[in-house]
């Protein structure tokens, strides 16, 4: 499957996350909901790693790679905890668009830290994302 197809699957699954989480944590604290979700992800991800025989690659991870993966995991935890709290406090239809501002932040970090290309067309796309967030959250 092409990268864009995986990205589309990710987007569809992320949409389900928002709705299912909002429904599932109506009577429990958002941190507990995040912890339950994390255990499910942990079991699911390790099951895939073991089933595909990918655990053999553990020894080939460099210290630098491991550091960045650990930092990414911490960022994921912060993101999930904040997202679930926001979902608990606000409507999913308003929380999700603000969360998607991550696209703008990723683009800026990709350009600044990874040397990715910036074009006027790309900048216009990012501006439209920001406008979309404003239009969907201020209404």
Report the chain (139 residues): mean pLDDT per 10 consecutive residues.
92 92 93 96 97 96 96 95 94 93 95 95 96 90
Please state, in angstroms and rounded to a whole number, the distance separating the CA atoms of residues 71 and 77. Answer: 10
Q: How far apart are the first and last CA of the chain?
A: 38
Q: Which residues of 24-37 are buried (b: 16+ CB within 10 A; e: fewer)?
A: ebeeeebeebbeeb
**Nearest CA among 74, 78, 99, 73 for reference residue 17:** 99
Q: Residue 138 has what pLDDT?
A: 85
Q: Residue 83 has what pLDDT?
A: 95
Q: Which pTM does this prediction carry?
A: 0.85
The answer to whether 69 and 61 are in contact (CB under 8 A) is yes
Q: Residue 139 has what pLDDT?
A: 66
124's tokens: 């216009």
The answer to whether 136 and 99 are in contact (CB under 8 A) is no
CA distances from 54 to 39, 103, 113 (A): 20, 29, 29
């Amino acid at each position: 499957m092409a990268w864009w197809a995986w990205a589309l699957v990710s987007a569809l699954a992320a949409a389900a996350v928002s709705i299912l989480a909002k429904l599932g944590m109506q009577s429990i604290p958002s941190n507990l909901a995040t912890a339950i979700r994390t255990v499910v992800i942990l079991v699911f991800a390790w099951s895939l790693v073991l089933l595909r025989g990918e655990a053999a690659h553990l020894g080939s991870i460099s210290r630098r790679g491991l550091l960045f993966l650990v930092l990414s995991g911490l960022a994921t935890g912060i993101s999930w905890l904040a997202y679930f709290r926001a979902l608990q406090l606000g409507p999913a239809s308003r929380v999700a668009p603000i969360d998607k501002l991550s696209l703008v932040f990723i683009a800026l970090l990709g350009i600044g830290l990874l040397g990715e290309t910036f074009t006027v067309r790309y900048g216009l796309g990012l501006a439209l994302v920001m406008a979309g967030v404003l239009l969907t959250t201020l209404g």
